[in-house]
Structure 1
Amino acid sequence: MSASAPIYVIGHRNPDTDAICAAIGYASYLRQVREDEVVAACCGEINARTNWVLRLAGVEAPKLLLDVRPTGAMVGRKDVMTAAPSDTFLSVYRKMLEHNFRSIPVVDADHKLLGMPTIQEMAQLFLPSESNHKAANREVRTSLQNMATALGGQMIGDTSGTEVVEDLLLVVAASSVETSRERAKQFNPRQLVLLTGDRPEIHALAMEMGVRCLVVTGGFMPWDSLLQQAREKGICVISAPQDTASASQLIRFSRPIGEAAHEYVSFGSRTPLRELIHSVQNSHQPLFPVIDEETGKLEGVFSKSDLVEVPRTKLVLVDHNEFSQAVAGADEAEIIEVLDHHRLSGNLRTKEPVRFINEPVGSTSTIVGIMFKMRGLTPDKSTAICLCAGLISDTLNLTSPTTTNTDREILEWLAGVAGVDAAQFVKDFFAAGSLLREATPARAIEGDRKVFEENGWRISISQIEEMGLDEFWKKQAELHTALEALCEAHKLHFACLMVTDITAHHSVLLVAGDTRVESAIDVDYHKRSPQVYDMPGVVSRKKQLFPYLSNLVGKLTPP
C-alpha cells in the first residue's frame, strides 16, 4: 500500500440510512479540511430507502468494503522486475546480480507466473551429476539461437529451426580425431553439439557425422568448403569468440529459464496477513509471489522483511464504536477517528491516540452537520440531502425519544441548504420502499441489525421502519423462522426484530431464542400472538429497546 492510500469513512455492518449518509457527509467534510484522499465506504447492502436518497442526491453509492484485514495484495510490491521463459539462465543470472536480487519471477506473455528461480537453485543445476549415465553432464536443453546469443557468436551454415528448444548433448573435441570420433559415436549425431577450436580435421569430422551443431571457438571460421557442406547437410555452425572452456560454460547457461522446474510457495491476493506470516516463517524461499485470485496473474512479490511493518487500511468509523459492529478486520486497521452517537461499549482499542467524537444526539448525520457549521463550511446540495435523510431516518422525523433540539436546528439548516421541503421529503422517504415487502425475511432482518454482548448474553436486535404493519403480519411466521436460523448461524442466545409503524409511533417485537428472555418480557408487555409483543411508544432501539433488554438479561443467569 502506498503512502497516499485513501482514508475510508465507513459505517457499521448491516448499514442503515444514517450509517451510509453520515459516511458520505463526513467524507465530504474531511476532503475539505485535510489534503488526504478520503473515500466514503460501506460494509453491507444498501436498503431501498437509502438507494432512493442516493438517486435523489445524485450521489454514487459508497465503496463496498467487506474486509479490511491486511492481505497479500497490500503487502506485495507492485513494481516487480520479471523474466520471460525464453530468457537464458545467463541473462537472468546477470539481471539478478545487477539488481542484487536473490530470486526473480518468471512470467509468460499473459503475466502468469511460471517459476521463482533463485541464485542458489540456478547454481545447483550446473553442479556435476552423480549419475553414471554416459550422457550425464552433457545434456543441455536449449535452442541454437540461445546458444549463439549467450556466446555472442555468429551463426552460419544451416540456420533453419534454430529458435526451437531441443535436447542437445555437448561434446568437447579436444582429443585426437579418432578419440573424438569414438566419443561422439556413443550419441545420436542429430543431438550433438561438437565444440572445438581451430582444428579443420575436427570440423571435417562434424560434417562427416552430420552433427546438429558445430561450435568453433577462438573466433575462428571453418573453411568455405566445410560451410557449404554444413548448409547441404543441415548442420548449424556457430563461430564463438571465447576459448573452448569458457564457451562450454556459456552453452550450459544458454538454457531457457522457462524450461527449468521451480518449486515455490505463492499466495493469493486476498490471503490474510496472519496466514502469510504463519506460512513463511519457516520457509527458506527469499521472495514470495502474490497472485491475483481473479485473473491468475502475478500481482506483486514480498519478502519476510516486508511483513515487519505492514501498511494498514486507514479508517474513520461513523455511527458505531465497537469492533463487533465494524467492518471485518477493523481491529487490524489504523483507526483515525470515531464519530458516533451511541453508548460506549465493546472492545474498541487503538494503537495510537485518535479523535473520538460522541454526542448525545439523534443521529450521526447531526454530528456531521455540526462539524460543517463549526468550521464555517456549507455542504454541497447533494451532501446536504444525504445528511437530511440520515437525520430524519434515525430520529423518525424528530419523533424518536433520542431527538434533541440540536437535531431540530441542524435539520432546519440542512433542509435549507438542500433546497427541499422537509415535510414532503419525509413523506417521500418513508414511502420509498417497504423492506418487508421487497426483501426475503432473512435479508429484511439483516437490513439494520446490531449485535450486543451483555452479562454473558449474545443478543441481536434488528429494526425495520414501515408505513403500517400489514406486511409484518403477512410474513410473521417466515420472519420467526429466519430469526431462529439467525440464532443458530451466529451462535446467538437471543434475537429479536422490532418493526416500527412510523405513522402510529408504535412497534411490535418478534423474538426467538432463550425462552427465559421471552418469559421476562411477558411481565412488561402484552403478548399479541406467539413470540410477538406490542410495544406502544417504543420506537428507538438505542434509547428504549436496548436499555430495556440490557437491564432484563442483567437479572438473568448467563446462558
Structure 2
Amino acid sequence: MSVPESDPIFVIGHRNPDADAICSAIGYAAFLRASRGSDARAACCGEMNTRTSWVLDYAKVDAPKLIMDVRPTAVTMCRKNVITARREDTCLSVHRKMLAHGFRSLPVVDEEGCIVGMPSLQELAQLFLPSEASDEDANRYVRTSEANIVAALDGSFPNGREALQEVETRVLMVAGSSMGTTQSRMKRFPHSSVMVLVGDRPDVQEMAIRNGVDCLIITGGFQVDDAIMALARHENVPIIYTRYDTASAAQLVRFSRPIADALHDGFLRFAAKTPLKEILAQTHDSHQPLFPVVDDDTGKLLGVFSKSDLVDVPRAKIVLVDHNEFAQAVTGADEAEILEVIDHHRLSGNLRTKEPVRFINEPVGSTSTIVAMMFRLQKLEPDRATAVCLCAGLISDTLNLTSPTTTGTDREILPWLAGIAGIDVAKFTSEFFSAGSMLRDKPAAAALESDRKEFEENAWRLSISQIEELGLDEFWKQEKALREALGNVVRLRGVHFACVLVTDITRHDSILLTAGSERVIGAIEYPEIEPGVFELKGVVSRKKQLFPYLSRVVAKLTAPA
C-alpha cells in the first residue's frame, strides 16, 4: 500500500473487531464519500466473526480490506517508475543514462526483473582511470564485442556483414608511435586479440591487417583506401570507422564493456515490507546514493529511494473508529497520519497525533450510532446496505437496546436506520444473534480473540474477552478448553489477569471465567459457582459494567510484583 496524496483514507476499527467496529467503519467510510467526496474505504485489522460476516452477506456488502500493518515501509515510500539497465548494456550507455536523468546510481536487472547490481556514477568513473596493477599491460585488456565498440564510437562497420555480439577479451593498442615501436608492442600479445586504433596511416593499417589483428579502428573521421579495404576483407579483419580522435576513441572503447563486468553484490537492498525505522538505521552511515526495493518473495525490483526520500516519508491516512488507544489500534497507527477518531468508549491509553485531528467521542451505545448521527446532522441518508450495517453495529453493542450502555439517542437512531434498511428489528436481531455460536464454531483460543481487549489499571495488565451466546450450553461444553486458552493469554501476552465474559443474550446474564493472578480472582465478589467461574447476574456490558468493576477491584490491590 503506497500513500501518495491521491491514495485513499482507510477507516479502520480495533484489533479483534466486533460487529460495531466493522459496521461503523463501513458506515463512516460511506459518510466521508457522501459528505466530502473523499476516497474513503473501510478496513479491518483482524478476522471478522461469524455474525459480522452474516451481516455483510445480508447487506450484500464486500468485506473491508484486511490491513494488519500501516507502518511506512520500503515499498510505500520508494519511487516506482524506475529507469533500469540490463547486464548486457555497456558501461557507456549506463553512464549516459545517469547523466541524462541526473542519477548518481542506476539499478541493473536480469531477464526476470531481479536486481543484480547498483553501479554508481563514481564507480563507473573509475573505469576511465588506469588501475594500479603492477602489470603495465593490464589496462589494455577490455571485454567487449564488435557491436558494443561500434555503438560506443557512434561508428560504422563497412565489412559487408553485421557486427558480432559475442563478448571477448581484447587488447586495446593505440598506434601512435613509429612502425617499429608499434610492431614491437604487438609482439607481446596474440595478434588475433589486438584492436588497433589508428588514424590516417596506411602503412600501419596494412601492417596490422597482415598481422591478422582482431579489428582495425580508424579514428578522426578518416577512411581506408580501396586497396586496404580489399586486403582487410581478404584477411577477414573487420574495420570500424569513427569520427572521434584516437585518444577519445580509446576511452570510449574501454567504456564499451558490458555493465555486468562492473557489478558487485556489496550494496544495500531492502525487502518491500522493511519498516522505516529499520531502513533509517541501516542507511544512516551508508554512502550508497540509491537503494533498491525488492519483492519479499521473488526479489524483483519494485522501486528505489535515496536518503532524501527519507526526510518526509508519505504516511498512511487513517480514521480510527470504535477505539481511541494505540494498544487496540492497527499495528503502525502511531506512525500513520491519523485524520479522525470516532468512538464511544472511555478515554485511555497513549493516543497522540502530530497534528490536530477531529476527535468525536459520544457516550452512546455504539460507534454506529455516532456515524448515523453524523448522517442526520448533514441531512444525508445512508444507502440501504450501509443502513443495514449500522443497524447491526448498534444492535450488537446495545443487545438490541437492552444493554445498560443504551441511551435515548440509540433508541431514536435505531428505528430511523431500520426504516432506511427496510428491516424488522426484532426479526433481524433474532437472525443476527442466531447466525453463529462462537463457542461452537471456533476453537476456544479463536473464540477468545474474536473480541478481546487489553487494559492497564493501577499497573495491572488485564485482558477481557466477551462472547455473546444464545444460552450457556456451549460454554459448559468448552469450559476446559477456555480455561487452557485463558492461561495461554496470561502467559503469551504477559498480562496479570485474563477473563472471558460469556453473555447469555436471552436472559441478560453472564458467566465470568478467569485466569491469572489469584489476588485479583480472590477479590472478585460475585458468586463463585466453580473455581475461577463467577455468576454475574444482570451483567452484559464489558464497557459499562465489567471493566469498571474490575478497575475498582485492582484499584484496591497493591501493584503487582
- TM-score band by shorter chain is over 0.9
Task: State the match for 1:289 in structure 2.
Answer: 292
3-state SS of paired residue (2:250)? helix
Partner amino acid, structure 1, of 2:198: T
| TM-fit CA distance, 1:236 | 2.4
Q: Alignment partner for residue 461 of structure 1, among 461, 464, 476?
A: 464
Match in the other structure for 1:244: 246
Secondary structure of the structure 2 residue equivalent to 1:327: coil
Shift of 1:88: 2.2
Shift in Å, 1:336: 0.9
Partner of 1:122: 124
**2:118 and 2:263 in contact (8 A); partners too:** no
Per mean C-alpha deviation after superposition, the further-off stretch among 146-155 and 198-207 is: 198-207
Question: Counterparts of 1:225-264 in structure 2 under 5 Å?
Answer: 225-262=227-264, 263-264=266-267
Residue type matched to 1:371 in 2?
M
Q: How does 1:179-190 map to 2 (within 5 A)?
A: 179-190=181-192
- Does the Cα contact within 8 Å between 2:527 and 2:534 map onto a contact in 1? yes
- Aligned equivalents of 1:361 and 1:408: distance in 2? 10
Residues 1:439 and 1:233: Cα distance change in structure 2 (over 3 Å): farther
Q: Are 2:528 and 1:527 equivalent residues in the alignment?
A: yes
1:8 paired to 2:17: no
Gaps of 5+ in 2: none
Question: Is 1:476 the counterpart of 2:479 in the alignment?
Answer: yes
Structure 1 window deviating more from structure 2 (183-192 vs 301-310): it is 183-192
Cα distance, 1:27 vs structure 2: 0.4
After the TM superposition, which residues 3-402 of structure 1 pair with which residues of structure 2 at under 5 Å, given as runs?
A: 3-157=5-159, 159=161, 162-262=164-264, 263-402=266-405
Contact 1:158 1:234 in 2 (8 A): no
- Residues 556 and 255 (structure 1 numbering): CA distance in 2 closer, same or farther, change over 3 Å? same
The superposition leaves residues 327-370 of structure 1 with CA deviations (integer Å, 9 ceiling, x where unpaired) of 11111111111111101111111111111111111110011111
Tell me the SS of whatever aligns to 2:172: strand
Cα deviation, 1:108-155, whole Å, max 9, x if unaligned, reads: 343322222221111123321111225311121222111101111111
| SS state at 1:168 partner | strand
Aligned-pair distance for 1:89? 2.1
**1:416 paired residue number:** 419
TM-score (normalizing by structure 2): 0.96
Asked whether the equivalents of residues 157 and 228 of structure 1 are also in contact (C-alpha less than 8 Å), the reply is no
Q: How far off is 1:166 after superposition?
A: 1.8
Deviations along 1:137-191, one digit per CA (max 9) or x if unpaired, are 1121222111101111111337567112222221112223332222122223332
TM-score by length of 1: 0.96
Residue identity opposite 1:547 in structure 2: P
CA contact 1:157–1:234 (8 Å) conserved in 2: no
> Residues 193-250 of structure 1, C-alpha deviation per residue, up to 9 Å, x if partnerless?
1211222232233333322222111223334454445445443221112221111011
- Coordinate RMSD, CA, aligned: 1.7
* Amino acid aligned to 1:488: R
SS at match of 1:146: helix
Length, aligned pairs only: 557
In the TM superposition, what whole-angstrom CA distance separates every residue of 1:396-421 from its partner, at most 9, and x where no partner exists? 11111111121111111111100111
Distance 2:62 2:453 in 1: 25
State the distance in 2 between where 1:175 and 1:417 align.
96
2:168 and 2:448 map into 1 onto residues whose CA distance is 65
Cα pair 1:4 1:36 within 8 Å, conserved: no
AA paired with 1:66?
A: M
Q: CA deviation at 1:465?
A: 0.7
Query: 1:212 touches 1:234 (CA, 8 Å); kept in 2?
Result: no
- Cα distance in 1, alignment partners of residues 133 and 295 from structure 2: 41
The amino acid across from 1:551 in the alignment is R
Flag structure 1 segments of 5+ consecutive residues without an equivalent: none
Distance in 1 of aligned mates of 2:145 and 2:458:
74
Secondary structure at the aligned position of 2:92 is classed as helix
Q: Conserved in 2, the CA contact under 8 Å of 1:140 and 1:168? A: yes
User: Could you give the per-residue CA deviations for residues 353-391 of structure 1, whole angstroms, max 9, x where no partner exists?
Assistant: 111111111110011111111111110000001011111
